[in-house]
Amino acid sequence: MRNRLMILTIALVAVLVFSLVIVAQNRGGRGAGANAAPPARDTRPFSPQDIAGIWSRNSQGYGGGGTCRECGDRGFGNNVPPFTPLGQKMFDANKPSYGRALGTDDAKAHPEEHIGRRRAVPPANGTDLYQTCNPQGVTRALIYPDPVEFIVLPDRIIQNFEWTYSWRTIWTDGRQLPKEVDQTRWWGYSTAHWEGDTLVVDSIGHDDRTWIDHFGYPHSDEMHLQERYRRVSYDTLELNMWIEDPKVYAGRWNAEVKRFKLLPKDRVKTPEGWTGLLEDLCAPVEDIEQFNKNIRDPAGGVFHK
Amino acid sequence: MKSVVKNRTLAMAAAAVGILVLAVPIFAHHGTNISYDRSQAWTSKAVVTEFRYVNPHPQLFFDVTDAKGTVTHWGAELLPNPAQLINNGWSKKRSMEALMPGTVITVTIAPSKAGGTVGLLVKAVNDKGEELVPSGGGPGGPAPAPAP
């Protein structure tokens, strides 16, 4: 009798855990998913145009692969527009290591997911610049569930991304985006203005070596990204965004909504109590090479002498 | 006989739960679910030769001696990166001291699907039974998921 109860309990736990895993997989992340019932709304007063502070999509502040409840997953969106011929070529050339493993039963069992989410290969066989700690680019960095600090100055907003400790400048001094870009940038060229309580950020001139998200969706140097930030409660910042990139996609790609949670300034701190974003750099390059040579590459069947 | 069957069923159910529970934290890890085979995880005594507390992922290098006395050198990456270890209460100093060269520990390793002597460190336990450099359960928030 006791054994039967134990089996029943274990089975129940297994079903619950398995459900969580399935949800996490479908969402491309580890969180409970954007469709989960939202937590109680933070009713503290706030100024809708005050977006300064440390925001994080995983709410605990120390980075990682998961996202917090209702924050959206780690993909830009499953509603991928058709590729242009060039776009298809670029997409095929990108070999990501996130998502369901290429060619597996698991990948085949989810035709509802765009193929970009079902073609992961070991990093050793991949083409992700990120695995050698290069800049992620704007969309991917925004989606990445590490904290990002918004520093608001009179003429610009700085986004300081904890992972790689990288700064992006968004100009609010009224300037126009360049008509032509001589040299693309890892973080693009960005301007912003307020439309009511929505901060609208337009950017162009993004380096085409970065990916839209970790599933390896490409973009060209002609991508136009628009981000629309709205602080919907004291602790929640909502981000809607889209890209237009006629070289790569046949139409506008609207992202699934992403949300950030406000972290208290002292939430992230070192063991000795030094608060503020960690200097979470992936450096020096020798450390990365050593890791790839001794662990990551052999794990993918690429052995070095 | 009946109790053997029952025990076997229980063991299988427990193993299934174990695999599922362990599977949760790895989905978002860069390539982990692709490169390593958790269904082939093994546990053994090991002697630490080096521990690297670095980005993008800390690594543990160690020797395993089999019944015939043959020593095999292994390398394993950790699920959490240093930021997540900090969140879990494992500072650089604490981690390096716990995993000094020569320390005897018990490791559970998910080996590479490609073979060789590399893997994913699923668990490391010292001779007092304390889990070292764990991947989850930090203060003030949900268990952190692994970084890239």
Is residue A62 within 8 A of residue B144, CB to CB? The reply is: yes
DSSP run (H or E) holding A148 = strand A148-152
Chain B residues 43-62 within an 8 A CB cutoff of chain A: 52, 54-57, 59, 61
Range of the domain at A75: 52-299
Q: What is the pLDDT of residues B4-55, one digit of tens each?
A: 444 554 444 444 444 333 333 334 457 777 999 999 999 999 999 999 999 9
A164: left (phi over 0), alpha (psi -120 to 50) or beta: left
Is residue B99 within 8 A of residue B93, CB to CB? The reply is: no
Chain A residues 137-196 within an 8 A CB cutoff of chain B: 145-146, 162-163
Instruction: Please tell me if residue A123 touches chain B, with a CB cutoff of 8 Å.
Output: yes
Interface contact B24-A30, CB threshold 8 A: yes
Q: How many domains does chain A have?
A: 1
Instruction: Please tell me if residue A10 touches chain B, with a CB cutoff of 8 Å.
Output: yes
Is residue A169 within 8 A of residue A148, CB to CB? The reply is: no
pLDDT for res A46: 97
Interface contact B148-A298, CB threshold 8 A: no
Query: Would A135 be classed as within a structural domain?
Result: yes
Query: Would A196 be classed as within a structural domain?
Result: yes
The pLDDT tens digits along chain A (305 residues) read: 455 555 444 444 444 443 333 333 333 333 334 444 556 789 999 999 999 999 999 867 666 556 787 899 999 999 999 999 999 999 999 999 999 999 999 999 999 999 999 999 999 999 999 888 999 999 999 999 889 999 999 999 999 999 999 999 999 999 999 999 999 999 999 999 999 999 999 999 999 999 999 999 999 999 999 999 999 999 999 999 999 999 999 999 999 999 999 999 888 899 999 999 999 999 999 999 999 999 999 999 999 87
DSSP run (H or E) holding B62 = strand B59-65
Query: Would A189 be classed as within a structural domain?
Result: yes
Q: Retrieve residue B46's tokens.
A: 């090991």
In CATH, which of 3.30.365.10, 2.40.50.140, 2.102.10.10, 3.40.190.10 is domain B2-125? 2.40.50.140
Query: Would A198 be classed as within a structural domain?
Result: yes
pLDDT for res A265: 87
Question: What b/e readout covers B64-94, taking b as 16+ CB neighbours within 10 angstroms?
Answer: beeeeeeeeebbbbbbbbbbbbbbbebbeeb
Residues of chain B found within 8 Å of residue A163, distances taken between Cβ atoms = 147-148
- Cite the DSSP H helix spans in A104-175: 105-108, 138-143
Query: Would A21 be classed as within a structural domain?
Result: no
Closest chain B residue to A136, measured at CA: B148
Per-domain residue ranges for chain B? 2-125
Query: How are beta strands B71-78 and B59-65 bridged, if at all?
Result: antiparallel
Tokens 């830009």 label which residue?
A76
Q: How confident is the model at residue B121 (pLDDT cuts 50, 70, 90)?
A: very high
Residues of chain B found within 8 Å of residue A162, distances taken between Cβ atoms = 83
**Is the full-model pTM beyond 0.90?**
no
DSSP assignment of A216-272, as one string? -----TT-EEEEEEEEEETTEEEEEEEEE-TTTBSS-EEPPPEEEEEEPTTTSB-TT
Closest chain A residue to B7, measured at CA: A3
* Closest CA relative to residue A57, chosen from A82, A28, A14, A90: A28
